[in-house]
Structure 1
């Protein structure tokens, strides 16, 4: 039996799960998925890997934020406008209507973005500034990806209640108009549009003429230096998109994590037999209706700026503390002469700050570990608080179990089970990419299964060459 000096051997057979339950709120179903949803929100990296979004958030874009729009016309936009946060994203659409980029499926079922000819003149790049704070609904995941693998489930099944004709690209205008109609008629105009993500984040803005002031509208020109090879994304677009891997930046979007609606919080079978991804396509409409009802209630009773705690920064602290350590403990690089002792020594280092050596209190020690990053003023009944607590409790309890493991195999199994449960996207990050490279993961509509399973560095100007089979054929 291996006992840590800071933990008396007499409690070796204590049920740590039972102790954890006694010192905090009850565990949350799907807490790991909710935690990852918060951590990945408004981030290109996590939202591309956890791409089947299951959650709605309230979000706000502050007054004075610059937004961009690519168009075949120079007229200021009206009615409904697709707005980008970065000009490189908008420039993809700054082409004459007859020369707009199109997505073509090949006979093999893969897909390629077909760029216009180098000689084609571009359209117009519009720059606007918000005249008011925009009140938006953020649909998480790769919610602007037109794919059959579940990226549009939350919109089509929940928000639009199966009322739109089936379709991907061809139904995008209908989705935008339906969202704006719901915002006006059902939500009393409290929402100005929605935020979605594919290759970059976009805002579908319902009344841009009322919310934006034009700053500059200029003629753009397509540059051959920005075009990826073999139909790949333009290098400049990839530079822009991947610069948002870890956040949109500049406090340009404020997300309310204190109150949100997620399908993970309902008693639903979100992972049907044979699927590794959450889906809604197999569920009856009646079981999804409460999600939509609660979304309406959320919008009518809360604002994005009501946020008390930025729970994403709390999740960040948890991931930053434990992410590298857990990977290191399971990497096999510890002492090969005494591997178990090497692991338990590292676990002792992690747990040591939570121990009062003059007055050992096992329940209190586990509580200190589990609540280290939880703000004292945060409402303990909120879904975010309970989800983060459930995850940190699982981490701390697992570490204690590791400290008491009697053999190396048992200890590493506990750690692997914990990492499988956490499923943190940081463990897929590349290392050592050069300045002209990025860590390539599937970014709709391109990428391979290998890019998803084992991301690796690719050059900006010739990324995603070959068969792009991850997303399946673009949903027309």
Structure 2
């Protein structure tokens, strides 16, 4: 840490923050702006929400962002190899056993000098975290302890971090060797348009080497990407990790099983990372740098995939400016000032199911209104009754939108004085998204209230009486408003398979609620089943003095 701080101080002396670097023909370098953060707010919000998570990274696979990251001391990492000793240079590590075991499969040499397996599904293949290994193709001289017998022996290594490992996390599915744009942030931005020749495995070994040379100068031990699982390209195995064990893998013919489940087993293992890696990875959101912070073109250069954003649409001068900014941020000490992902999670968990519920045609008009009021009235200061202290009623709705938009940002305000420039940009994006959600919900509420102009003054609840057909048409229009909102939000949560239909919930007996069946056979429960009388398991139905509905103020 002291070395990094010293390096940062030296760099700041020659390249002070906010001072333009060398210019090309007098061109001022582009800088991040709050205007860009607002324009790209939905992209930034989703990048924050999906960072370090396999599900969202797979769906938003063209990444624009970089995060300083830490793998904590004591974390186990895995490596598949043809050698029984640690690599001398850079190499690939995985966080799941099965991921690295793909590259520790032993194979027997067949006639003609080719290595193959009698079980086709047991072959290691040519892609994955070790696919661009920093070792030349296998020959008899480097095929491990089976070389003399014509075998290619595989070894499974287990390493343990002996200190915190500092990595540069590249978001999206940056380990995907494709032409979709998954490699833009590496080949165009970090490597300054070194996209070819692709060579073996789309040049991933050369890519890893050039990025390692760069990020180690910035104080990192390596960099981290996502494919089918998380992979770490670790630049120097002699520092930061200890080899705790090596096992030699069996030859295919010595196994009892067919190996047909191999892909299934690997995919199943990595799905634990759909929602993140728990205590195995910490991202410094206060050091996040994203192309979405900058005033660049993000449209796709491929007319066949207009849905995909691309860094390729930006000019190389602009990408070099972003790289220079990223370098300056990376040379600063780590901060971890605000857990922005937790704030994004709170917003998603509050509104995702509610929006999906209200947008569904399966939901009745009455239930739509109930859900809308539950989503909005939390933030609405109700009109006064006799004896209450009143406020200006005409300001209530606008104040409610402000209150709603700020609600989940309140924890970040505690440390506002310590925010980095990147914290402020993320705040701008998240607040823009939150305000759009709140404004849309209150606009829908206002449109329904407008159907009843003859209600008594200070009536702020939506009436379900009167002309039902008019209210029904308004609800249909409101669903369209909310579907458009969901389109703008594009939350990956909505692409997950639901445990229950949209108008049901997964329920287990939780005091004071729950029938016997909810304890012995938890499952999906319909709206009409969830009432205050659902209390049989806890014996409350047998206690005449225990009025659950009264206890909860209903």
TM-score by length of 2: 0.65
Per-residue CA deviation, residues 238-262 of structure 1 (Å, 9 max, x unaligned), is 111112111112x111101122111
The residue number in structure 1 matching 2:124 is: 101
> Is residue 67 of structure 2 the alignment partner of residue 57 of structure 1?
yes
- Cα deviation for residue 352 of structure 1 reads 1.1
- Cα deviation for residue 362 of structure 1 reads 3.2
The residue number in structure 2 matching 1:66 is: 76
The residue number in structure 2 matching 1:110 is: none
> Is residue 408 of structure 2 the alignment partner of residue 373 of structure 1?
yes
The residue number in structure 1 matching 2:44 is: 34
- Cα deviation for residue 431 of structure 1 reads 3.5
Q: How does 1:223-234 map to 2 (within 5 A)?
A: 225=257, 227-228=259-260, 234=263
Matched residue of 2:368: which SS? helix
Matched residue of 1:278: which SS? coil
Give the counterpart of 1:268 among 296, 304, 310. 296
Q: Distance in 1 between matches of 2:256 and 2:330?
A: 45
- Report the CA distance shift for 1:46/1:224 in structure 2 as closer, same or farther (over 3 A): farther
- Residue range with higher mean Cα deviation, 382-391 or 402-411: 402-411
- Residue range with higher mean Cα deviation, 43-52 or 93-102: 93-102
Matched residue of 1:209: which SS? coil
- Cα deviation for residue 317 of structure 1 reads 1.2
Cα contact 1:45–1:245 (8 A) shared by 2: yes
Q: Distance in 2 between matches of 1:354 and 1:259?
A: 32
Give the counterpart of 1:243 among 265, 272, 276. 272
The residue number in structure 1 matching 2:287 is: 259
Q: Name stretches of at least 5 consecutive residues in structure 1 with no aligned partner.
A: 1-24, 105-119, 434-476
> Is residue 76 of structure 2 the alignment partner of residue 76 of structure 1?
no
The residue number in structure 1 matching 2:427 is: 385
The residue number in structure 2 matching 1:172 is: 204
Matched residue of 2:56: which SS? helix
The residue number in structure 2 matching 1:131 is: 162
- Cα deviation for residue 151 of structure 1 reads 0.9
Computed over aligned residues only, the root mean square deviation of the Cα atoms, in angstroms, reads 2.3
- Cα deviation for residue 88 of structure 1 reads 0.8
How many residues align structurally? Answer: 381
Query: Which structure's residues are more often strand, by fraction?
Result: 1
- Residue range with higher mean Cα deviation, 413-422 or 262-271: 262-271
> Is residue 195 of structure 2 the alignment partner of residue 153 of structure 1?
no
Cα contact 2:222–2:233 (8 A) shared by 1: yes
Matched residue of 2:154: which SS? strand
> Is residue 298 of structure 2 the alignment partner of residue 298 of structure 1?
no
Per-residue CA deviation, residues 41-95 of structure 1 (Å, 9 max, x unaligned), is 1111111111111101110111111111010110122311211111111101113
Q: Distance in 2 between matches of 1:209 and 1:133?
A: 14
Matched residue of 1:34: which SS? helix
Greater Rg over alpha carbons, structure: 2
Q: How does 1:190-205 map to 2 (within 5 A)?
A: 190-205=219-234
The residue number in structure 2 matching 1:440 is: none
- Cα deviation for residue 328 of structure 1 reads 0.8
Matched residue of 2:497: which SS? coil
Per-residue CA deviation, residues 273-312 of structure 1 (Å, 9 max, x unaligned), is 7311011223321121121011101111132xx1022111
Cα contact 1:192–1:207 (8 A) shared by 2: yes
Q: Distance in 1 between matches of 2:215 and 2:258?
A: 37
Cα contact 1:128–1:215 (8 A) shared by 2: yes
TM-score by length of 1: 0.75
Q: Name stretches of at least 5 consecutive residues in structure 2 with no aligned partner.
A: 1-33, 108-114, 117-122, 128-150, 385-390, 449-473, 501-554
